[in-house]
Amino acid sequence: MKFPTFQSTQTRLNLLLAIYFAAIFNYALYAKIWQIQEHVWANFLFTVPVFIFLACWLVFTLLALPFVHKIIVPLLLVISASVSYNSIFLDVYFNHDMLTNVMQTTVSESSRLMTVPFIAWIVCLGVVPAILYCRTKIIYRTWWRECLARMGAGCLSILGVLVIAAFFYQDYASVGRNNPTLKNLIVPSNFIGAGISKYKHWKRDNLPYQTLDTQVKQIKTTPNRRVFVMIVGETTRAINWGLNGYARQTTPLLAKRGDSVINFHNVSSCNTFTAGSVPCMFSHMTRTEFNVTRAEKQDNILDMMQRAGIKIVWLNNNSSCKGVCKNTPYIDVTKMNPPEFCHNGECLDNVMLPELDKVLNQIDQSKQDTLIVLHTIGSHGPTYYERYTPEYRQFTPTCDTNEINRCSNQELVNTYDNTILYVDQFINTVIAHLEQHKDWESAVMFASDHGESLGEKGVYLHSTPYEIAPKEQTSIPMIMWFSPTWLQNEKINAGCLRQNAQTQTYSHDNVFSTLFSAMNLDKTQSQTYRADLDILAACR
């Protein structure tokens, strides 16, 4: 295909670019503001596209440097097309957290997002305009006329912004203050701002590493071997969790275990994306205190346990451990790629069971207590139909495509519920493996990293900024199971735990101190342990 060649002055080209960005790439912003129109004046609504156009016009006027603009503008066009598609069709807000999520996404994960409409959108609205821009020959005036033309364009855009501010400043201030995440829909400032924020975080990586509870030690109270399995779920939400009273029984195997499985009914996640929630879960910092950079530069509960002499093993069937296992043993089971469990670079969670058996068999030969982390792929979308085997396809019809917005809501929910059936059998199997070692003090804890939106109010997937995230993305399932030997030796009142699990509110904030207590680390000298966040403390 041969692209035509055009001629244009730089000022005219900047004007066309500003119109294009304002009219096409910022549709999601206008749609979101329209949804809250009852709180703002109608006249204000019509100024928003004009304001975006004027701001873009000013920026492109400033960027119009010889040669440089031929690199910057095409890049902006292609990236903006990608970001706008996700904002318009999947209600994705692009901020620093989303950029972190994108940078940590594996090839297999990203390939599942490469739908035909997505690629067509980028090519037609990003790549083709970028090529046309590069094929446009700039006609330059004499230097003083060029300067006057650009200064005039800049002044007009600034004047327009000032006029809008003079009449509608209060409206902009009010809408911005009450809806702070709207800025994450403004293209291209959202991903440029995210990039600047990421760079600032990168600079802070030179912070010195902080060792916490330097004298931490384990206090053994019994001669029994202690084994704790922490299962980190992925994208499983509380609303569809059978043990929480969901209309469907999506957790039949755990339900059959009766009171031995303690189900926590009201639990919230630390964040709405894996790279934010998983490090937070294992950090002593609470959700309101948590900072990813600080977490990377200090000990987490795994580091402290390992220093106390407890063996740590992280089995991974997800993209990565998100830095949590940076100092501890790590086994990526996806690299083994057994065909009975794996397809196109992703595996069913049962792929971890053979490795789990190996670890359990080694414990009898070891004198160490052990914490095992199983990082699952759980209910990860958009390819929910790939998260379970055919026998767990019990709810039909299903959504067997990654273009989830093309499926009916019932098809999508059916498919998602089938993933939870598979999660249920996985947790049940892990418990069954531990039950074979009756002389051990063994325990299992499961907590999902975050929830998921399945099209409610037009929102799909996750990673919505926490401040406005729907409950579907922040409300998560959590369960605990203890062997009879553990309960007896530790004198834990299981009835008390069950009662609290039904009536109290919990979150990822509780994980650190609960693990600290469960593995009998010395609390008396700790600066990080908090009894008020220890789930077990109230029932000993």
pLDDT tens sequence for the chain (540 residues): 566 677 888 888 999 999 999 999 999 999 888 887 655 566 778 899 999 999 999 999 988 888 888 899 999 999 999 999 999 998 888 887 888 888 887 777 777 778 899 999 999 999 999 999 998 888 877 888 878 888 988 899 999 999 998 888 767 766 776 677 888 999 999 988 888 888 877 776 677 889 999 999 999 888 899 999 999 999 999 999 999 999 999 999 999 999 999 999 999 999 999 999 999 999 999 999 998 888 989 999 999 999 999 999 999 999 899 999 999 999 999 988 889 999 888 999 999 999 999 999 999 788 789 999 999 999 999 899 999 999 999 999 999 988 887 799 999 999 999 999 999 999 999 999 999 999 999 999 999 999 999 999 888 889 888 998 999 999 999 999 999 999 999 889 999 999 999 999 999 999 999 999 999 999 998 999 999 999 999 998
Q: Are 451 and 475 in contact (CB under 8 A)?
A: yes
Q: Are 378 and 233 in contact (CB under 8 A)?
A: yes
φ/ψ of 322, rounded to 5, equals: 60, 35
Distance CA 391, CA 264 (A): 28
**Per-position DSSP letters for 293-342, written without gaps between them:** HHHHTB--HHHHHHHTT-EEEEEE-SS--TTTTTTS-EEEGGGT--TTTE
Distance from the Cα of residue 40 to its chain's centroid:
32
Q: Are 84 and 187 in contact (CB under 8 A)?
A: yes
The three-state secondary structure class of 97 is helix
Distance CA 373, CA 353 (A): 12
Predicted local distance difference test score (pLDDT) of residue 206: 74
Domain ranges of the chain: 6-202, 229-539
Would the pTM count as exceeding 0.75?
A: yes
Instruction: Count the Cβ atoms, other than its own, within 10 Å of residue 366.
Output: 11
DSSP H or E segment with residue 343: strand 342-343
Predicted local distance difference test score (pLDDT) of residue 2: 64
- Say yes or no: domain 229-539 is CATH 3.40.50.1970: no
